[in-house]
Structure 1
Amino acid sequence: MNKELIINAAPQGVEIALLEDRKLVELHSEKSDARFAVGDLYLGKVKKLIPGLNAAFVEVGFEKDAFLHYTDLSPYAKSLLKFTNLTVNDKSENGADFGKFENEAEIIKTGKINEVLGGKPNILVQILKEPIAAKGPRLSCEISLPGRFVVITPFNNIVAVSRKIHSSEERKRLQKIVEAIKPKNFGVIVRTAAEGKNTAELHEDLSALVEMWKTIQKNLKGAVAPAKVLSEQTKTNSILRDLLNADFNKIVVNDRTIFNDTKNYIQRIAPEKVDIVSYYQNGATIFDSFGITKQVKSSFGKTVNLNSGAYLIIEHTEALHVIDVNSGYKSVSNNQEQNALETNLEAADEIARQLRLRDLGGIIVVDFIDMKLPENKRKLMEKMEEFMSPDRAKHAVLPISKFGIMQITRQRMKPEVNINTQEICPSCNGTGKITSTLLLEDEIEKNLNYLITHKHKNLKLVVNPIMYAYLTKGWPWSTKMAKWKKKFGQKTRVEADTAYHLTEYKFFDQHDEEIKL
């Protein structure tokens, strides 16, 4: 699979398109004035405790207080509170040695929010979800700092290895390496990308994250809540950190600054891939040049057409997303069951892409075409899981019910991508109404009378083909144009132009220059 990252920089922000085998699968945007991105760390002030929800509202500087639930407090919440208080009030020049920090007892899973945050203290929090609609950010106290190969989690000493690394020998090897090099008071999660990496590469990544934690300690000293303590990397770099692998063969950027930053980042994390970064400076816009604009227009409507003639209907309700699969005119055989299976498999592939592309979250209900054979239903579910495997968002796929319904849950980390692919009708300007043909005819006649009265000769009238047919229909002596010739004593040529909308018309003089009315 070939992966390409196309980055379009504009004054209002940056748009990032991820292509897999030239097909658009993810679309990200980062506004130039964006704040509160997932992964950002803040010194927040607990403003209100809600025992009924077992949650708290925390001020982090957003217009609405952020939401922190007890389940997002982390078992090490008391250690985090102690660390926050000590670091903010630390007067030493170089800061305290985190390796000597004494952890507090873990909190219980079934505890109450006021038992932990009763004094409404200041606390270090991390953005778990960006603000969505009228809601403030969702917060977590389970602080994690992701690198390319490992993720560090302070206040514990646990080492875990990604389950996606299937070799037990490789998992043991990575666990031994990390246990030998990790500092005290840091838990480490070994990512899938670490498979096959040596001790030096893992140590370099781990050291960079430890330095990041030291930066957090430095920024916390003397901070007054609410205050940003650490920003997540740019969207471009975070995507590269999480996705960059041997399949990546092209990164194209149309902004010199982002190009240099991206190249420097690639040079640091994967020097062997630095040549895949290129600067785009052709005339056409970068998204048009790579066919992304067309894919966006064809992928974000209510109806999504598939190559075979089948199509999807995607509807959004308050509680869930509903996707209906329709066979259209597709027919691969005379066997109805086989037709249904083939159409459903094609639809499943596109649905997995649409979930990533639109970043649909929550409950997704898919109404596939009914199939009778259990093995076909099982095959469809297995394929759906396979198609969704590249999706970085947490998700779960349930077996098809007896009604032919598949239920999918998918984690949403940012607002749903919703692009309007409809344009305002040039004829009615979005009102849903256009001028009556009879009234339009009267308007043209009045303007024609005005022009002839003011000595214009050899006039040409250009109209939409439908209006052209209306003006020229009938016997040669009975058409509307013939009647106007008789009435005004002068012949007017009429031509049709498909580029004109229904109620558009223009007059041209004998030199073929438009006459402005």
Structure 2
Amino acid sequence: MLHQPIPLPRDLPRPREQILVNITPQETRVAVVEDSVVQELHVERAASRGIVGNIYLGQVKRVLPGMQSAFIEIGLERAAFLHIADVLEQRQHPTEPQRIERMLFEGQTVLVQVIKDPIGTKGARLSTQISLAGRFLVHLPQDEHIGISQKIEHEVDRLSLKSRLEKLLPDDSPHGYIIRTSAETATDIELEADVAYLSKLWSDIQTRAKTSPAQTLLYQDLPLSLRVLRDMVSDSTLSVVVDSTENYGKMVEFAEQYVNQAVAKIERYSGERPLFELHGIEAEIDKALARRVNLKYGGYLIIDQTEAMTTIDVNTGGFVGTRNFDETIYKTNLEATYAIARQLRLRNLGGIIIVDFIDMDNEEHRNQVLSELAKTLARDRTRVTLNGFTSLGLVEITRKRTRESLAHVLCEPCPTCQGRGEIKTAQTVCYEVQREIVREARKFDAKSFRILAAQPVIDMFLDEESQSLAMLIDFIGKPISLSVESTYTQEQFDVVLQ
């Protein structure tokens, strides 16, 4: 049984950071560097750009009353998924259960927004509650209330911001807003400009929706290079360095209109060495794809990402400590907390994360490890929850997942092992081949058989399994020949009847 979620500290000062932006026609990559250490990597490819935030005029394909959900066609390879919990009417009246079959019917067109990218075999997840993000505000055109980011904690600041925004809104404005954390330092002029921009954006979307056919993309979120300025630049940002002259101009132009305080921080990189190579980012990307993460003093993590969850195993490795065994375990676990928090951000791991720390008998040590883990997770831009140790000594973390992890963006399953991480031995394949020949010999009256397989399998038949092959030839009473197929993987084979 899990403990109650452990609150993450909110008042920790953010370390100074540098944002590096590498842009090519095919791909945009962003690295966030804190104290010369890469903490985050974001990759957006032109051919497979994320669609979270996109607004579509969807068409209902199927309504499932039993699941209180519907599949909506929005023009993608797979139909998107809409659950009753993400329908506007249900969100506005959470205590009054709604029925999706009374709201939607097959063939109906409906305005929807993507809240989760397609991941693996799952289609995109949708909501009928539209939100448009600006620099300081999130516009909720179908709502009327004004909300405030939970990260703005002081009640006086919250009331002041709400009062300022209410004065800037037209008296007849029925629209709602969420005040973002960045609005704490915004002037009235900047807030008013944000309101005007978001209002015009919503007006344009409504106009297009009236004249467009079903499954039309009505609005697409900003590209990664501009989202960096809107969502990531803060007072703790030292500079935003971009290596593309064309995009440098676009970023400056966007910042002058919407993120004025970021203009002075944008720098154009024109050095001879590639930007990411100069800062060691390329090597960090390779490390972020490895299963093993080495810790500074000899310990290490093993990170396994699966469909259901991610597991992180902490090991002492070559770390022997200086005092006693308990102290060694404690120091390794403590060091692991920093590495774990960094790897979650770096690899963009989401969903359920299970951490198997080395068992600690000392209750104080366990509490201190949890406390440090809470502090390191608090710096994450993505929403994270942390639970205490279970009876099995495991720690559960959940991290909001809205896009693919770094490994899923950059890699694909191995064609040989199909993502298992291991393949059948040559000997195992030899035995499968022999069983196949016995089956074929019973079904067909062939004159002879030929085995087509990879080199290691053929070598096994010629060496260690030569006697069993001879016994098989004697058993079926037919000759068997061998042939190497260089294009076959170790698990592939064919038995040809001759």
Alpha-carbon distance, 1:420 to partner? 5.8
Aligned mates of 1:109, 1:65 — CA distance in 2: 28
Alpha-carbon distance, 1:347 to partner? 0.8
Q: Secondary structure at the match of 1:257?
A: helix
1:330 aligns with 2:344: no
Question: Which of 379, 383, 390 is equivalent to 2:372?
Answer: 383
Q: Is the contact between residue 14 and residue 30 of structure 1 (CA under 8 Å) also seen in structure 2?
A: yes
Question: Which of 137, 146, 157 is equivalent to 2:144?
Answer: 157
Alpha-carbon distance, 1:432 to partner? 12
Alpha-carbon distance, 1:14 to partner? 1.4
Q: 1:368 to 1:13 in 2, by over 3 A?
A: same
Q: Which residue of 2 aligns with 1:192?
A: 181
Alpha-carbon distance, 1:398 to partner? 0.4
Q: Which residue of 1 aligns with 2:296?
A: 307
Alpha-carbon distance, 1:332 to partner? 4.1
| Segment drifting more, 275-284 vs 313-322 | 275-284
Aligned mates of 2:309, 2:210 — CA distance in 1: 44
1:127 aligns with 2:141: no
Aligned mates of 1:182, 1:152 — CA distance in 2: 12
TM-score (norm 1): 0.73
Q: Is the contact between residue 301 and residue 421 of structure 1 (CA under 8 Å) also seen in structure 2?
A: no
**AA paired with 1:357?**
L
Alpha-carbon distance, 1:21 to partner? 1.9
Alpha-carbon distance, 1:354 to partner? 1.0
Aligned mates of 1:57, 1:20 — CA distance in 2: 42
Q: Is the contact between residue 178 and residue 188 of structure 1 (CA under 8 Å) also seen in structure 2?
A: no
Q: Which residue of 2 aligns with 1:62?
A: 76
Structure 1 outlier segments of 4+, above 4 Å: 105-109, 419-423
Matches within 5 A, 1:237-386: 237-386=226-375
Aligned mates of 1:29, 1:156 — CA distance in 2: 33
Q: Is the contact between residue 32 and residue 40 of structure 2 (CA under 8 Å) also seen in structure 1?
A: yes
Aligned mates of 2:412, 2:59 — CA distance in 1: 42
Matches within 5 A, 1:425-436: none
Q: Is the contact between residue 304 and residue 313 of structure 1 (CA under 8 Å) also seen in structure 2?
A: yes
1:173 aligns with 2:187: no
Q: Is the contact between residue 57 and residue 74 of structure 2 (CA under 8 Å) also seen in structure 1?
A: yes
Question: Which of 78, 88, 97 is equivalent to 1:110?
Answer: 97
Alpha-carbon distance, 1:403 to partner? 2.4
Q: Which residue of 1 aligns with 2:51?
A: 37
Q: Secondary structure at the match of 2:353?
A: strand
Q: Is the contact between residue 301 and residue 420 of structure 1 (CA under 8 Å) also seen in structure 2?
A: no
Aligned mates of 1:159, 1:180 — CA distance in 2: 12
Alpha-carbon distance, 1:229 to partner? 0.6
Aligned mates of 1:130, 1:374 — CA distance in 2: 41
Matches within 5 A, 1:406-485: 406-418=395-407, 419=410
Alpha-carbon distance, 1:148 to partner? 1.7
| Segment drifting more, 37-46 vs 16-25 | 16-25
Alpha-carbon distance, 1:355 to partner? 1.0
Q: Which residue of 1 aligns with 2:133?
A: 146
Aligned mates of 1:360, 1:321 — CA distance in 2: 8
Aligned mates of 2:193, 2:103 — CA distance in 1: 36
Aligned mates of 1:225, 1:107 — CA distance in 2: 29
1:286-341 CA-to-partner distances (Å, cap 9, x unmatched) read 21111101111223200011112111001123321110001122244313333322
Q: Is the contact between residue 132 and residue 198 of structure 2 (CA under 8 Å) also seen in structure 1?
A: yes
Q: 1:75 to 1:383 in 2, by over 3 A?
A: farther
1:49 aligns with 2:75: no
Alpha-carbon distance, 1:257 to partner? 1.7
Q: Secondary structure at the match of 2:389?
A: coil
Q: Secondary structure at the match of 2:313?
A: strand
1:20 aligns with 2:34: yes
Q: Secondary structure at the match of 1:265?
A: helix
Q: 1:2 to 1:376 in 2, by over 3 A?
A: same
Question: Which of 68, 85, 91 is equivalent to 1:71?
Answer: 85
Q: Is the contact between residue 2 and residue 248 of structure 1 (CA under 8 Å) also seen in structure 2?
A: yes
Alpha-carbon distance, 1:120 to partner? 4.1
Q: How many residues align?
A: 401
Q: 1:402 to 1:231 in 2, by over 3 A?
A: same
Q: 1:76 to 1:233 in 2, by over 3 A?
A: farther
Aligned mates of 2:174, 2:321 — CA distance in 1: 60
Alpha-carbon distance, 1:162 to partner? 1.6
Q: Secondary structure at the match of 1:396?
A: strand
| Segment drifting more, 326-335 vs 214-223 | 326-335
Q: Secondary structure at the match of 1:75?
A: helix
Q: Which has the higher contact order (CA 8 A, sep 6+)?
A: 2
**AA paired with 1:59?**
E
Alpha-carbon distance, 1:46 to partner? 0.7
1:456-481 CA-to-partner distances (Å, cap 9, x unmatched) read xxxxxxxxxxxxxxxxxxxxxxxxxx
Q: Which residue of 1 aligns with 2:194?
A: 205
Aligned mates of 1:71, 1:306 — CA distance in 2: 42
Matches within 5 A, 1:487-502: none
Q: Secondary structure at the match of 2:388?
A: coil
**AA paired with 1:175?**
K
| Segment drifting more, 45-54 vs 26-35 | 26-35
Q: Secondary structure at the match of 1:7?
A: strand
Gaps of 5+ in 1: 78-104, 424-430, 434-517
